[in-house]
Amino acid sequence: MSGRLKKVRNFFLYAVVAVAIAAVSAHLIWKYSGSGQWELVKEKKGIRVYAMKTPGVAMMQFKGVARVQSSMHKAVALLLDPGICDFGDLSCYDSIAIQKVDEQRGGAGYYSFKWRYPFYFRPRQYVVEANFTQNPVTKEIYETVKAAPDKLPPDDCCLRVTQMQNSWRLKPLNNGEIEIEYVVNTAGGGFFPYILDNVGGDDYVYYVLSKFPKWVENERYRNAKVAFVANREEELVAQK
């Protein structure tokens, strides 16, 4: 090999090493940055979206808060329905209920759905445990949605998501509205860059909350009555 070719080869080797060092350094700086506090990143049409970067964790969490004109029964019926996967333009498909939540008592249920990922990335399959509880005093409904990857056998179609700890909070107000809080703490896993999850997280949360008022008025929820939901407004009427 000529001296000139050796110089060219060495130059590219040094360049590759320098880029790798810079990438690792940037990752470590990002991973250990953050305040661990919710910070407002978007406010539009009454919807507030917050982001939180926790030191030591590369993935960001996102939280959206909005008010919706709806009854608690309709909103909970929407969240109980795996068919919500088909609403909007969310790349979600093939949703199934493995074990439904007991509508008399609430508690846990298991669901699965698949999600198309962009570019050359494999689709993801989410197998989750959804757990509903209600505060007996405030009548707030809480739903936690966490990954339960071992609830179904592996499916060759997709990469199974193992990191999810999302939540919903529905708070009844006195004017026929509900305050909704939606928290997303999910990683696509595999080789999907966390930076893409982080960049699109706030837009996703905003989209879901902006569409919620339309979705909750779907015909199948319009007259919904969910037995485990104690509605504060209904109790006030009964006391009169």
Examine the domain organization and report whether 26 and 51 are in the same domain.
no
Mean pLDDT, the chain, as a whole number?
A: 85
Task: Give yes or no: residues 84 and 151 share one domain.
Answer: yes
- Cβ-count burial of 80 within 10 angstroms (0-12 exposed, 13-18 middle, 19+ buried)? buried
Q: Are residues 15 and 49 in the same domain?
A: no
For residues 45 and 95, state if they share a domain.
yes
Residues 108 and 222 both lie in one domain:
yes
pLDDT for residue 234 is more than 60: no
Question: Could you give the CA distance from residue 118 to residue 240 in angstroms, rounded to a whole number?
Answer: 55
pLDDT bin (cut points 50, 70, 90) of residue 4 is low
- DSSP labels, 87-101: SSS--EEEEEEEE--
Q: Tell me which residue has tokens 């004017």.
A: 175
Residues 68 and 186 occupy one common structural domain: yes
Instruction: Indicate if 74 and 25 belong to the same structural domain.
Output: no
Averaged over 17-33, what is the pLDDT? 53
pTM: 0.87
Q: Are residues 17 and 59 in the same domain?
A: no
Q: What pLDDT, on the 0 to 100 scale, is given for residue 131?
A: 97
Q: State whether 3 and 53 are in the same domain.
A: no
184 and 118 in a common domain? yes
* pLDDT value, residue 27: 47
Domain count across the chain = 2
Between 142-146, 197-201, 217-221, 235-239, the lowest mean confidence (pLDDT) is in 235-239
- State how far the Cα of 176 lies from the Cα of 128, in Å rounded to an integer: 31
Range of the domain at 26: 1-31
Q: How many CB atoms lie within 10 A of CB 39?
A: 10
Segment 84-95 mean pLDDT: 86
Identify whether the C-beta of residue 139 lies closer than 8 Å to the C-beta of residue 232.
yes
- Is the confidence at residue 191, as pLDDT, over 90? no
The Cα 220–Cα 91 span in angstroms is 22
Residue 152 pLDDT more than 90? Answer: yes
Q: Quote the CA–CA distance of 33 and 42 in Å, as a whole number.
A: 21
The answer to whether residues 102 and 220 belong to one domain is yes
Based on the domain organization, do 17 and 96 belong to the same domain?
Answer: no
